[in-house]
Chains A and B, each alone.
Chain A
Amino acid sequence: MLEAATRSVAIREADEPVGRPAHIVIRDLDMAFGDFVVMRGLSFTISRGDVFVIMGGSGCGKSTLMRTMVGLLEPARGEVLYDGASFTAAPPERREEMLRKMGVLFQQGALWSSLTLAENIALPLQQYTRLGPAAIAEVVDLKLSLVGLRGFGDYYPAAISGGMRKRAGLARAMALDPEILFFDEPSAGLDPISSKLLDDLILELRTSLGATIVLVTHELPSIFAIATNGVFLDTESRTMVATGSPQQMLASCPNPNVQTFLRRGAPARGAGASSAPGSEES
């Protein structure tokens, strides 16, 4: 009980945006596939310790934005900065260094299927640390325990459930103790209870590891439960139409698309409904 109370206080303290330094800056970002522009003119800042949610309807470019932020796609224009240093303009070696401070959880876990869970987590440690096999086994054991999979190290990804794969993917993403964790649709394909447990785990990790968390999701319960800040990408105008915490957006964003989204299709309130899409809010 006491522990739970302390934890919730800690979360609330961390929620305070005042004075927290910028961790990730997106500047004038355009994303395109060939001639098709997915999103244009994205500019926002993610503070250290934020649980930042990238939201928007299906197919609006949320995952594309995340993939651009971790270097899997190149932007058509603009840049992504981590701690003030440009990631998009960095040479390959520098980029690799920056990537080591990030962990990514893919939608289906993306565990390497020919390796056991333990080998999956051990691989980044073998590549980037000087730890011996015994020490690596210790770290792997710890990471698996953190996501509730102690004892599953020798299982292959095909032998465990979707929810477990996702948690194992999270353990792998945390292998190098990253400063930033990216999550691509963490709740997709999970039942409500597993989804809630994963949300709790994300909050717990953010508090205990002090990591900045970037989530791509359209799950409203998760968005309202854990996000401290976010950006809304609009499919129609192909740009961002709102930034701020989900609660702020719901309370004061005049954009009807944002209101409809956050109210799960329920009609927006009178004032907001008449406003044109594309109006900026913060």
Chain B
Amino acid sequence: MTEPHELSFRRDEGQALEVRLAGSWTKAEGLPAVDELRRAIDLPAPPTRVAFDARGVLRWDSALVAVVDRLVELARARGVPVALDGLPAGVVRLVALADAVPERAGAAAAGRSPGLAARLGEVVLALWDDVVGFVPFIGDSVLAITALLTGRARMRVTDFFLAMQDCGASALGIVSLISLLVGLILAFVGAVQLQQFGATIYVADLVGIAMTREMGAMMTGIIMAGRTGASFAAQIGNMKVTEEIDALRTFGISPMEFLVLPRMAALFLMMPLLTLYSDFVGMAGGMIVGVGMLDLTPEQYVKHTMDAVSMTNFSIGVVKGSVFGVLVALAGCLRGMQCGNDSAAVGRATTSAVVTSIVLIIVTDAVFTVICNVLGL
């Protein structure tokens, strides 16, 4: 059961303001509004001095200290002297402690939230920094790749093999599941339409071409963005937070060569293999629908697929897969290297790595489609 607190103001003829406090002044009872305090000080005119009478206070905690501190601040801002002697000794000491260090100039302004225009400006500038930040990183990556090709790169072969295992063999499970389901979905959607024309056998063509040209590479790219790209960003970002990257630099070891290169090379080599694997699993998914729902025989399905899918389709998918691999590795490592120095920054870096990778994958895929169209492939 909370007891109400009492706050009253009394002006004497000499215009001194006495603040009378009584009852229970704890956080449970709440605090009076600042405006009420301001009115008491300002109306009818600022008093000549402020004094307190807190004899009736039964209990208090930081709620009372906050009210007194606010009154002291309001009075001092108006040049009115304040006498604290009517307050409990603990309150007097805490108010003195709170006032011991004056507010640092500009400290409050820094925390203030900017206006709409300023925020919009910040977003645009951040976006621009994002784009500009990518350019030197690509340059550094090219230099690191050159160092690798000329045998001067400082990286551990073990790291390269570990990265290959991580983004190759360890990813097979999820790639299998997603590709199989994508194959099933494609076949199912196609079957519903093709059944109307009695052309169900063309489900094999549809699934085969879609998987090899587009979906195999794209789905693998997106899986790797969420799985491996995020992991690269988190790993490297965390190394930044724990100063491990600084430690590399003080030994004259380039983080680009030591950390980025093995990851990029591993993903570049693994992605085409995963894409091919995804193509076949997706086609198997299509065959499950074809054989199970459309009364085709497995032989018919395989034969039709082999007739429909050309080497060009496979090649386009595999090339895309390699490019997506480089993009995912670049985005993951870049966001990791750009990471700030706290754990929240690692989270942001990870999110940003996935978003950047997926955007890059889709945009690049669109560019590929246009190029293939122009070349008549």
A residues within 8 Å of B by Cβ? Answer: 67, 70-72, 95-97, 99-100, 102-104, 106-108, 110-114, 123-124, 126-128, 172, 176
Contact = CB atoms under 8 A, between A and B. Distances in A.
Nearest to B251: A124
Interface stretch (B117-125, B240-248, B291-299, B316-324): B240-248
B310 to A, nearest CB: 44
Interface in B251-297: 251-253
Contacts of B156: 123, 126
B259 to A, nearest CB: 10
B178 to A, nearest CB: 28
Contacts of B247: 104, 106, 110-112, 172
A76 to B, nearest CB: 20
B244 A112 contact: yes
Nearest to B162: A114
B244 A102 contact: no
Contacts of B242: 108, 110, 113
Contact of B250 (A70, A112, A126, A127): A70
B55 interface: no
19 contacts: A71-B249, A72-B246, A72-B250, A95-B252, A97-B252, A99-B250, A99-B252, A103-B250, A104-B247, A106-B243, A108-B242, A111-B244, A112-B248, A113-B244, A114-B159, A124-B251, A124-B253, A126-B156, A176-B251
A126 B156 CA distance: 10
A127 B246 contact: no
A11 to B, nearest CB: 27
Nearest to B154: A127
B66 interface: no
Contacts of A97: 252
Q: Interface size for chain B: under 10, 10 to 19, 20 to 34, or 35 or more residues?
A: 10 to 19
B135 to A, nearest CB: 19
A127 B253 contact: yes
A106 B246 contact: yes
A176 B159 CA distance: 22
B148 interface: no
Residue picked from B154, B246, B247, B253, most chain A C-beta under 10 Å: B247
A15 B51 CA distance: 61
Interface in B119-177: 154, 156, 159
Contacts of A104: 246-247, 250
Contact of B251 (A95, A108, A113, A127): A127
B239 interface: yes
A99 B252 CA distance: 6
A102 B247 CA distance: 12
Contacts of B239: 112-113
Contacts of B159: 114
A102 B243 contact: no
Q: Which 5 residue pairs across A and B have the least CB separation, nearest first?
A: A96-B252, A110-B243, A110-B247, A104-B250, A106-B243
Contacts of A70: 250
A99 B251 contact: yes
Contacts of B253: 123-124, 127
Given A113-B244, A127-B154, 6 more contacts: A70-B250, A71-B250, A99-B252, A104-B250, A106-B246, A110-B244
A226 to B, nearest CB: 22
